[in-house]
Chain A
Amino acid sequence: DIQMTQSPSSLSASIGDRVTITCRASQSISSYLNWYQQKPGKAPNLLIYDVSTLHSGVPSRFSGSGSGTDFTLTISSLQPEDLAIYYCQQSYSLPLTFGGGTKVEIK
């Protein structure tokens, strides 16, 4: 199985801050990397697929980058509604696997 490691596990930032979350795969996954946002008590929502393609309706302040084993999710200007846990997920090979999550809190 491909292991996905996210860092940090949690962060606290102020409204308007630029926030960066990192995801590292245990082997190369090419561009098969997706990001999800899970708000408290809700199902995950797809934010970005294939490293950098924004899912329909996702605000442009979210962006993704990377390739191979190292990937980044960036929120350019943190908003109150971005309070959530963010997960990366690889779809390069089965079983599909997720990172452990990064909890984003608002200062």
Chain B
Amino acid sequence: QLQESGPGLVKSSETLSLTCTVSGGSISSSSFYWGWIRQPPGKGLEWIGSVYFSGNTHYNPSLKSRVTISVDTSKTQFSLQLRSVTAADTAVYYCARLLHGNSGDSWGQGSLVTVSS
């Protein structure tokens, strides 16, 4: 299971920080990447980036300059930081387990983050 946690309200120009806690399985499995995907209200899905248990990361070029994804295997958690947020970053943020880095076979329930001015 995956569970997102973090503030639901972030001020414009500040940093959005979310953590995903993984339970019921090993975050250090070689079969999975761990990813963040977001969905603005009423819109489609956008992949933000993924991290491997070793710390290797991949980011969406459209967000790469503002994003850091990290993993803490001792806490079975991985985290998202998105800097310099604007209203366009308002979305439901999902964490997901990506089988071989490809398909999201398990998702968190999602965390709505609203960026306020």
Q: Which residues of A contact B (CB under 8 A)?
A: 1, 32, 34, 36, 42-46, 49-50, 55, 87, 89, 91, 94-101
Contacts and interface: CB of A to CB of B under 8 A. Distances in A.
Interface in B7-49: 35, 44-47
Nearest to B105: A46
Given A87-B44, A98-B47, A100-B44, A43 B103 contact: no
A42 B45 CA distance: 13
Given A44-B45, A87-B44, A36 B58 contact: no
A97 to B, nearest CB: 7
B110 A34 contact: no
Contacts of B61: 1, 95
B47 A97 contact: yes
Contact of A87 (B45, B59, B94): B45
B102 interface: yes
Contacts of B94: 43-44
28 contacts: A32-B102, A34-B103, A34-B104, A43-B109, A43-B110, A44-B104, A45-B107, A46-B103, A46-B104, A49-B102, A49-B105, A50-B103, A55-B105, A87-B44, A87-B45, A89-B45, A89-B103, A94-B58, A95-B58, A95-B59, A95-B60, A96-B102, A97-B47, A98-B44, A98-B45, A98-B47, A101-B44, A101-B45
Nearest to B49: A95
Given A34-B102, A95-B61, A43 B47 contact: no
B42 to A, nearest CB: 10
A95 B62 contact: yes
A95 B101 CA distance: 11
Nearest to B104: A46
Contact of B108 (A43, A50, A87): A43
Given A95-B60, A95-B62, A98-B45, A49 B107 contact: no
Contacts of A49: 99, 102-103, 105
